[in-house]
Amino acid sequence: MSTITLPAKMENLRRLVQFVSGCARHQGYSESRTNEIELAAEEALVNICRYAYPGEEGDVALRCRRSGRDKIIIEIEDSGIPFDPLSAPEPDLRPDIARRAAGGLGIFLIRKMVNEVHYRRHVNKNILTFIVSPEKRPVDALKEHAHSTQGRKSA
Amino acid sequence: MEVACRKEKNTAIVSVKGRMDAVCSMDFEKILDEQIASGQTRFIIDFSGLEYISSAGLQCILTTAKKLEPRQGDLILAALKGTVKEVFEISGFSSIFTIAESVDSALAGA
């Protein structure tokens, strides 16, 4: 298992994202799949850097480990305010530039890019877990999964 | 991320290369803002050299499009590829923006 812990600050974002992509490349994932996983990691990490520690500083820890033949489990942990990103409402995807709201796409993209995403609050920590495979799951399976994780709430 | 601007037929062609993440996407928006402030209303964004975009980059493009709307401006996204194209499709951005296969075809239609 590889791990990295850094202050949750935007200036560390690239190092953190590169840690995740390094794990994917190390497992022989394709460049395009690595890009998708990086995207999911960036979206989660930006949320933590911007909102997990209002008015104070704190760390974010990343843990990557292989699971089974070719899956990777990526855990993103912070000690900030309780926040379950999976409870966020679906973003506004209306095909209308003027009325479309700008926020909420991050979590949506995470759901689309990783094979599974789970959240748990454990001993005052937020732990977001991605399970990824060398191939993305078909869109239908992703939709079903979105339903199964949507109802989770932070403790 | 590298951004280069040139003008053709009254249209600003903004080429963006590399990676547009949450760290640098505001720089991109600032460059477009400067162009809009100087009166430019027609834009083609050339994505042929872009390898990666996150939601922060998408927000900048949406924000720019919103600024252009009351000015009767025009924003065409050209030469999307790979993961970038996929992100535009998944987020529904492909259906709210004018997408062109290449800068040349965007110019031909402009």
ipTM, interface predicted TM-score of the complex = 0.91
In angstroms, rounded to a whole number, what is the distance separating the alpha carbons of residues A44 and A26?
21
What pLDDT band is residue A92 in, cutting at 50, 70 and 90?
confident
Residue at B100 is within a domain: yes
Per DSSP, the three-state class of B89 is helix
Domain ranges of chain A: 2-150
Q: pLDDT digit string (tens) for A4-17?
A: 999 999 999 999 99
Residue at B110 is within a domain: no
Residue at B38 is within a domain: yes
Per DSSP, the three-state class of A66 is strand
Q: pLDDT digit string (tens) for A112-149?
A: 999 999 999 999 999 999 999 999 865 445 454 444 44
**CATH number of B46's domain:** 3.30.750.24
Q: How far is A140 from chain B (nearest CA, A)?
A: 13
Lowest-confidence range among A30-34, A61-65, A147-151, B38-42? A147-151
Of the options 3.30.450.20, 3.30.565.10, 1.10.8.100, 3.30.30.60, the CATH number for the domain spanning A2-150: 3.30.565.10
Return mean pLDDT, chain B.
94
Q: How far is B61 from chain A (nearest CA, A)?
A: 10
List the beta bridge partners of residue B43.
Answer: B12, B75
Q: Which of B52, B69, B91 sits opposite A109 (nearest CB)?
A: B91
Q: How far is B23 from chain A (nearest CA, A)?
A: 7
Q: Which residues of A touch B66 (CB under 8 A)?
A: 97-98
Closest listed residue to residue A13, CA positions, set A57, A40, A49, A54: A49
Q: What are phi and psi of B79, to 5 degrees?
A: 60, 45
* Predicted pLDDT at A71: 96
Rounded to two decimals, the pTM is 0.89
Split into its structural domains, chain B has a count of: 1
* Predicted pLDDT at A155: 33
Q: Which residues of B touch A96 (CB under 8 A)?
A: 96
Q: pLDDT digit string (tens) for A63-89?
A: 999 999 999 999 999 999 999 999 888
Domain of B88 in residue numbering reads as 2-105
* Predicted pLDDT at B73: 93
The average pLDDT across B38-66 equals 95
